[in-house]
Amino acid sequence: MGTLSKVMYVEDEPDIQAVAKLALEMVGGYTVKICSSGDEALREAVAFAPDMILLDVMMPGMDGPTTLKALRELPDLANTPVAFMTAKVQPQEVAQYKALGALDVIAKPFDPMNLANQVRAIWESGGK
């Protein structure tokens, strides 16, 4: 089992970016890369080589599910664990996100104190 150290978070809201970055860095001790759009994530993902990717579902331009599909086409990112972040956590939607290849879904608003632990638990559930 490897170590979870690099997390990429794709999110368009500056407020949420700031809180999540701090929470993941200070509480989780991870190295965090924030991308403001799916396009930016696609440009940065290979170089950053994240151990795990968090994707906001509703983003202008390329949304989370579309970004995931595009990421999966990059050989280096084909198997990187992904979790979606969304306020919509209806069961059908969660099932749909998992069918797209996400390990799990983190509900928004997330608890800043607990986000790092949630991310770790999801990552561990993936058996990495």
Partner 1 sequence: MSPESKAGKGNETPGNLDAFQELLAAMRRDFVGEIPDKCFAFEEKILQLEKNPGDLEAFNELYRGVHSLKGSGGTYGLSILTSICHQLENLLTEARNRNVLGSEFATKAFAHVDLIRQVALKQTDFEVIESKLEALRRLTLQNRKSVLIVDSSRLMTDLYRKSLDKLPLQLNFMDSGLAALGRLLHEPFDLVIVGRELKELGGVAMMAALRLSQIRQREIPAILVSSKGGGIPEQAGFTANILRDQYLADNLQSVVKKILKL
Burial of 65 (0-12, 13-18, 19+ CB in 10 A): middle
Stretch that binds partner 1, among 14-22, 40-48, 65-73, 97-105 (CB under 8 A): 14-22
Alpha-carbon Rg for the chain, nearest whole angstrom, is 13
Among 46, 61, 87, 125, binds partner 1 (CB under 8 A): 87
User: Least distance from C-beta 63 to partner 1, angstroms?
Assistant: 14
CB atoms within 10 A of CB 11: 24
Ranges within 101-120 binding partner 1 (CB under 8 A): 108-110, 112-114, 116-117, 120
Residue 30 or residue 38: which is nearer to partner 1 going by CB?
A: 30
Cα separation of 32 and 96, whole Å? 27
Residues 21-80 that bind partner 1 (CB under 8 A): 22-23, 26-30
Nearest in space to 7 (alpha carbons), one of 47, 40, 48, 36: 48
Q: How many Cβ atoms sit within 10 Å of the Cβ of residue 12? A: 17
Residues binding partner 1: number (CB under 8 A)? 30
- Given candidates 75, 90, 99, 127, which one binds partner 1 under the rule CB under 8 A? 90
User: What is the C-alpha separation between 86 and 127, in angstroms, rounded?
Assistant: 23
User: Which spans of this chain sit near partner 1 (rule: CB under 8 A)?
Assistant: 3-5, 13, 15-16, 18-19, 22-23, 26-30, 87, 89-92, 108-110, 112-114, 116-117, 120-121
